[in-house]
């Protein structure tokens, strides 16, 4: 961070304009790539979360916990592909497994041994899984879990939380998205146990399922209170609806998933790309009596198509990722490292309207005071501080989500954690007046 002191101590609007200008000046190649992409791609990219102004940084290469952009700048990667990049970039054991499969064929249009092996591994690992099926993403896993719940119960209505995110067509920030799946959704507030139980009982026999993350990811890394999840478990069981835990992100927090850490077992569970080492993959599963609706040995079985559901690359990578690398001590060490980092960052925020939420290896920076128990709409000032934090971190060579989210990966070393803490400490020291809202 090399801006003149005068610019750093100016008002928030001026500081943000200065940070944007420095960001753009340092990345001419990314700017040119974005301008060229806009000729064919609406907005210049094809994944909404990766867009930010004035233009996104284009990354060309990754290794371990490092990234290099189109302009030759290097970064410490604290984004971790929004949790899918748990194993870092180009993990040698995962790469070796994928290369071995590539030599035999990407997809053979047939079943293979690896899918059964990976399925048995996951069933043995996650308490909620008695049966499991694979998909191409967490989004697909959630869609199929909802389809299974509706078929099993014979009901159609679904309950989700405001601010929750379960995929590109299951996004409930601001109450919902115009591109959401056309399904009868009912919204409840996160961490309001009594209101949630009342809402579930009010719907009664109309309710097929409640879909919830045990900790909101995209919604701000906000952990669920145990009493909230217990209330969902008890109320859904009472009315005959299914409880679905979206653990696409949070299953990293314990070898058996966050539901095992909490001791609350859902009817269905969804998982995402990290289970295949970051390859395109997802999974949904749960109680045998529900999942056996997909058993093609039975007349009238539910269909579940997908050319790459069992693709050889993801299945082979998953066996190495979940069967050999992310086990036991490695799982607990990553959780502890994230807890320690969050504690250190939170200490830096003392006395300021700034805090770090999360659990384990998932963290998010917020610019407000008081407990954060559910998603919220950021004020213009909070949004400006978020952007300023992001731009200052980018200048310091720290890559994270534009919204302030960080997900740690396994290759991060102690020195990397120290570097991250130092960068945030410098931001707090240099921007303290702006964060506190003091006059320039």
Distance, in Å, from the CA atom of 78 to the CA atom of 400, rounded to the nearest integer, reads 5
The series of mean pLDDT values per 10 residues for the chain, 440 residues long, is 48 96 98 97 94 96 98 98 96 96 88 96 98 98 98 98 96 91 96 98 98 97 98 98 98 98 98 96 98 97 95 96 97 98 98 98 97 96 98 98 97 98 98 88
- Please give the pLDDT value at position 1: 55
- Please give the pLDDT value at position 175: 84
- Give 2-61 pLDDT, tens digit per residue: 554 444 445 999 999 999 999 999 999 999 999 999 999 999 999 999 999 999 999 999
- Please give the pLDDT value at position 10: 57
> Angle at Cα 57 formed by Cα 52 and Cα 62, nearest 5°?
130
Distance, in Å, from the CA atom of 167 to the CA atom of 18, rounded to the nearest integer, reads 35
- Please give the pLDDT value at position 108: 86
> Angle at Cα 15 formed by Cα 365 and Cα 399, nearest 5°?
40
- Give 360-377 pLDDT, tens digit per residue: 999 999 999 999 999 999
**Angle subtended by helix axes 312-320 and 113-125, to nearest 10:** 40
- Please give the pLDDT value at position 107: 79
- Please give the pLDDT value at position 352: 97
Distance, in Å, from the CA atom of 158 to the CA atom of 142, rounded to the nearest integer, reads 12
- Please give the pLDDT value at position 6: 43
Is 30 within 8 Å of 40 (Cβ atoms)? Answer: no
Domains in the chain, please, with CATH?
Answer: 5-77+352-436 (3.90.1150.10), 92-325 (3.40.640.10)
Nearest to 340 by CA among 268, 241, 411, 408: 408
């Amino acid at each position: 961070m090399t801006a003149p002191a005068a610019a750093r101590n100016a008002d928030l609007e001026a500081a943000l304009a200065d940070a944007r200008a420095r960001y753009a000046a340092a990345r001419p190649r990314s700017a040119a790539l974005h301008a060229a992409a806009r000729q064919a791609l609406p907005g210049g990219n094809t994944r909404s979360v990766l867009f930010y102004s004035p233009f996104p940084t284009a990354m060309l290469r990754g290794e371990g916990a490092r990234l290099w952009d189109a302009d030759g700048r290097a970064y410490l990667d604290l984004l971790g592909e929004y949790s899918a990049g748990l194993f870092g970039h180009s993990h040698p054991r995962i790469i070796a497994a994928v290369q071995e499969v590539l030599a035999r064929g990407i997809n053979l249009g047939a079943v293979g041994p690896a899918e059964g092996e990976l399925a048995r591994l996951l069933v043995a690992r996650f308490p909620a899984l008695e049966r499991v099926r694979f998909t191409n993403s967490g989004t697909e896993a959630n869609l199929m879990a909802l389809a299974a719940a509706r078929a099993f119960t014979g009901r159609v209505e679904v309950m989700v939380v405001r601010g929750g995110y379960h995929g590109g067509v299951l996004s409930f920030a601001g109450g919902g998205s115009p591109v959401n799946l056309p399904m009868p959704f009912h919204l409840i507030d996160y961490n309001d146990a009594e209101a949630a139980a009342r809402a579930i009982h009010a719907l009664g026999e109309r309710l097929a399922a409640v879909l919830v993350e045990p900790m909101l990811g995209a919604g701000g890394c906000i952990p669920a209170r145990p009493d909230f999840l217990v209330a969902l478990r008890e109320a859904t069981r009472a009315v005959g609806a299914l409880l679905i835990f979206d653990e696409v992100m949070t299953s990293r927090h314990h070898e058996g998933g966050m539901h095992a850490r909490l001791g609350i077992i859902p009817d269905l569970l969804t998982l995402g790309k990290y289970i295949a080492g970051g390859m395109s993959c997802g999974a949904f599963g749960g109680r045998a009596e529900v999942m056996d609706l997909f058993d093609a040995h039975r007349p009238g079985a539910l269909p579940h198509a997908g050319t790459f559901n069992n693709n050889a690359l993801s299945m082979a990578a998953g066996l190495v990722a979940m069967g050999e690398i992310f086990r036991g001590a490695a799982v607990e060490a990553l959780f502890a490292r994230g807890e320690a980092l969050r504690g250190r960052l939170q200490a830096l925020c003392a006395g300021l309207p700034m805090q770090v939420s999360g659990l384990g290896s998932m963290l998010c920076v917020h610019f407000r005071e008081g407990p954060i128990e559910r998603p919220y709409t950021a004020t213009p000032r909070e949004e400006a501080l978020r952007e300023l934090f992001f731009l200052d971190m980018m200048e310091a060579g720290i890559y994270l989500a534009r919204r302030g989210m960080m997900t740690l990966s396994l290759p991060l070393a102690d020195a990397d954690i120290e570097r991250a803490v130092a960068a945030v400490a410098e931001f707090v020291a240099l921007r303290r007046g702006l964060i506190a809202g003091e006059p320039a």
